[in-house]
Amino acid sequence: MAFPSLRICSLFRIIPLALAVGMAGSAQRNPVSVDPEPDQSIKATPRAGLLRGTIAHAPSKGLALIYDSNRQTAVLDANGAFAFSLELRSPIYAELELESLRGKRLKVYLLPSRSLSLTCDASDLYGTARFTGGGAAENNGLALLQVQYERIDYNELFGLNSADFLASLRSQRTKLENVLADYARSQADLDSGFRRWERARITYWEAAVRIQKMRFSGDWALYAAGLDFNDPSLLGVESYAIFLHEYLMAKAGERMVSDPALKASINRQTEAQYAAAIETFTNPAVRNAQLHEILRIQFVGDPDMNFGPLGCKGVEGLMARFDRDCTDRALREGIDHLYHQCQDGRNAPLIRVYKTVGTTTLDAHIFPPPGATPGQKRPAFLFFHGGGWSVGMPEWGYRQCKHYAERGLVGISFEYRLRLRHGTTPLESAMDAKSAIRWVRAHADKLGVDPDRIVAAGFSAGGHLAAVTGIVPGCDEPEDDKTVNAVPNAMVLMSASVDVARDSYFREILAGRTESANVSPAQQVRPGLPPAIVFHGLQDNLSPFPATEAFCKEMRASGNRCDLHTFPGGHFRSPDDWSVIDAKIDEFLKSLGFLGASLYSTVSR
């Protein structure tokens, strides 16, 4: 998995200046609305702005304009034409998003009382974007800069040693600054606020990339002296927001090592970030925005930065502190809404502790099948969520567990230790997965489970854990009862990281606890393993498909069953894909006698 480089790829995105201000419960990023160079005459009266244009070769007709706390939608006509009208008090950044290209957005800079026109091709949004009308100069410059950002090879950049990395990073910054300066010289009437924001975007892009690679090493103190941690007018620049996030992550990492009080917390990363934010931010608007961002990510995550969520378990103390420390009522109400929304989503029929490690309890979220009666022993579908062994929550497995409970199995979604909640590594996650299998077998009578028909399933990192339980020897919790078998009877692996032996991200977060190959299923294949069904995207860039294909070939060569089903997309599946996956898993389970007429056995009592 290459999470770091993916997160960095979002650094050149711009967020709207006022996403979700006052929106109780919004899951979007939430800094404040600011004007790069305030003009009270503009702010006094909202004035209409218009954005229209044509997008050629769009794969779908749905289009959204995302700005401030709003998401306007439109439908492209037969010629790809669209139009949006909006009331603006000041210049704003916004984003156009095609429905079929989620995550790939075209940034625009909109001015009050101006009509902006765009033509572009969906196959290359920035390379083909041409603007005319009010704000054309700013938007053509924005597209030009974006093309330069997209040329940066982050995998190559992050693979350099420290000295070469810094030299290459400075070179990239210089190129960006030169593109902006050359363009500004050619456009005498370029908006001054736009120039300031784009200069800031370059500065904090460099800072964010640097701190993620090097943390506080090198000449950090000297470098940081040129940065402003408390400028509320920059909260609308995403590279500034991401820099502050990466800075807090780095400070939290130091704090998690040095502060013994955090060892008892099940939300160590969030607690450490919160404390670092209180120490760092003196400007009330910046402090409010960052505290809000920390808790927002705790509850809903941030897909743009590959981060979170971490859930609502054990956050009562954090909530009380936020209510005390945040002076913005709207932000407090928004977080309160997200907290209760998270609590409402934690609604498995039964939640039981399956494992205790020190002061940490780990829960099993249980979905009994409707109509189950005492004495029946049914197959169990055990699910491990994804999240890069770092984030996630068992609620992510509710859909699958409900699906199989409705088909007569006992569905159970498991919590396990995570790097950013518990300060652990994938080795501890693997230990928890094996403990989960043992717990189900040891409590089979109470759970109504047939101990000889246990399915271990998982997505992404959770798929890795499911494969570990079926394939990798060892990885046992020292206190576990080893006389209870931790190997499932079948495996369902979805976008699973089955080969982590040479994965640099995995090696980094494993933190020297063991060799990567020791917890890599692909390196442990041998005869006599449980049957597996595997689902994978051909363009998956987190868990590359060739490794999964090789894994299945080796499984079959060793005499094991491994059914491989592929999809044309990447790591994540569409709703239509999930319908196919559900049907294929049903067929797989029926072939094993885990679904159908022989669904349950009856034990005499």
CA distance 586 to 407: 9
Give tens-digit pLDDT for 248-294. 999 998 998 899 888 888 999 999 999 999 999 999 999 999 999 99
Identity at 233, one-letter amino acid code: S
CATH code of 113's domain: 2.60.40
Query: Looking at the domain assignment, is residue 164 inside a domain?
Result: yes
Is there a contact between 243 and 203 (Cβ–Cβ < 8 Å)?
A: no
* Stretch 474-497: mean pLDDT: 97
Query: Looking at the domain assignment, is residue 183 inside a domain?
Result: yes
Q: Is the pLDDT of residue 332 over 90?
A: yes
Query: Looking at the domain assignment, is residue 341 inside a domain?
Result: no
Q: pLDDT at position 91, please? A: 86
| Mean pLDDT score of the chain | 89
CA-derived radius of gyration, the chain: 26
Give tens-digit pLDDT for 43-60. 446 666 689 999 999 888
Q: Are residues 209 and 102 in the same domain?
A: no
CA distance 129 to 146: 11
Q: Which domain-ending residue is among 108, 139, 170?
A: 139
Of 372, 592, 343, residue with least CA distance to 488: 592
Q: Are residues 164 and 248 in the same domain?
A: yes
Q: Are residues 424 and 563 in the same domain?
A: yes
Q: Which domain-ending residue is among 92, 114, 139?
A: 139
pTM value is 0.82
Q: Are residues 132 and 8 in the same domain?
A: no
Give 476 or 26, the one with higher predicted confidence: 476
Q: pLDDT at position 602, please? A: 56
8-state DSSP, 465: H
Q: pLDDT at position 88, please? A: 86
Largest Cα separation within the chain, whole Å, is 88
In Å, what is the CA distance from 187 to each residue of 113, 181, 192, 283? 20, 10, 11, 35
Q: pLDDT at position 2, please? A: 44
Of 527, 398, 413, 400, residue with least CA distance to 465: 413
Q: pLDDT at position 306, please? A: 57
* Stretch 489-515: mean pLDDT: 95
Which secondary structure element, helix H or strand E, spans residue 591, and what is its range? helix 575-591
Q: Are residues 454 and 401 in the same domain?
A: yes
Q: How many helices (H) and strands (E) does the chain have?
A: 21, 17
Q: pLDDT at position 71, please? A: 87
Q: Are residues 78 and 223 in the same domain?
A: no
Q: Are residues 162 and 121 in the same domain?
A: no
* Stretch 85-101: mean pLDDT: 85
Of 131, 132, 92, 83, residue with least CA distance to 110: 92
Q: Crossing angle for the helix pair 162-186 and 192-214, nearest 10 degrees? A: 170
Query: Looking at the domain assignment, is residue 84 inside a domain?
Result: yes
CATH code of 430's domain: 3.40.50.1820
User: Would you place residue 569 in the very low, low, confident or very high pLDDT band (cuts 50, 70, 90)?
Assistant: confident
Q: Is the pLDDT of residue 8 over 90?
A: no
Q: pLDDT at position 511, please? A: 93
Q: In which residue are the tokens 């794969």 written?
A: 59
User: Would you place residue 301 in the very low, low, confident or very high pLDDT band (cuts 50, 70, 90)?
Assistant: confident
Give tens-digit pLDDT for 448-477. 999 999 999 999 999 999 999 999 999 999
* Stretch 319-346: mean pLDDT: 96
Helix residue ranges per DSSP H, 151-283:
154-158, 162-186, 192-214, 220-224, 238-258, 268-280
Identity at 420, one-letter amino acid code: L
Please report, rounded to a whole number, the percentage of residues in the chain having pLDDT higher than 90. 74
Q: Are residues 29 and 74 in the same domain?
A: no
Query: Looking at the domain assignment, is residue 389 inside a domain?
Result: yes
Q: Is 388 left (phi over 0), alpha (psi -120 to 50) or beta?
A: left
* Stretch 326-346: mean pLDDT: 96
Query: Looking at the domain assignment, is residue 335 inside a domain?
Result: no
Give tens-digit pLDDT for 64-88. 998 876 889 999 999 999 999 988 8
Which secondary structure element, helix H or strand E, spans residue 343, and what is its range? helix 329-345
CA distance 585 to 342: 29
Q: Is the pLDDT of residue 487 over 60?
A: yes
The full length of the chain comes to 605
Q: Are residues 181 and 271 in the same domain?
A: yes
Residue 38, burial from CB neighbour count under 10 angstroms (0-12, 13-18, 19+): exposed
Q: Are residues 321 and 381 in the same domain?
A: no
CA distance 141 to 131: 10
Residue 272 CB contacts under 8 Å (≥ 6 apart), including other chains: 251, 252, 253, 255, 256, 259, 262
Q: Are residues 182 and 226 in the same domain?
A: yes
Q: Is the pLDDT of residue 9 over 70?
A: no
When divided into structural domains, the chain yields a total of 3
Q: Are residues 463 and 523 in the same domain?
A: yes
Give tens-digit pLDDT for 425-438. 999 999 999 999 99
CA distance 239 to 227: 13
Q: pLDDT at position 21, please? A: 24
Q: In which residue are the tokens 């693997």 written?
A: 430
Q: pLDDT at position 86, please? A: 86
Query: Looking at the domain assignment, is residue 333 inside a domain?
Result: no
Query: Looking at the domain assignment, is residue 590 inside a domain?
Result: yes
| 244-252 LR contacts (CB < 8 Å, sep 24+) | 244/286, 244/290, 245/293, 245/305, 245/307, 246/208, 246/211, 246/212, 247/211, 247/280, 248/273, 248/276, 248/277, 248/280, 248/290, 248/294, 249/273, 250/211, 250/215, 250/216, 251/276, 251/279, 251/280, 252/276
Please, which residues bridge with residue 382 across strands? Answer: 412, 456
Residue 238 CB contacts under 8 Å (≥ 6 apart), including other chains: 10, 11, 13, 14, 15, 29, 201
User: CB count, 10 Å around CB of 349?
Assistant: 11
Structural domain containing residue 493: 346-595
Give tens-digit pLDDT for 157-190. 998 999 999 999 999 999 999 999 999 999 988 9
Q: In which residue are the tokens 């939608």 written?
A: 73
Give tens-digit pLDDT for 235-249. 888 899 899 999 999
Q: Which domain-ending residue is among 88, 118, 139?
A: 139
Please report, rounded to a whole number, the percentage of residues in the chain having pLDDT higher than 70. 88
Strands in 522-571 per DSSP E? 532-537, 562-567
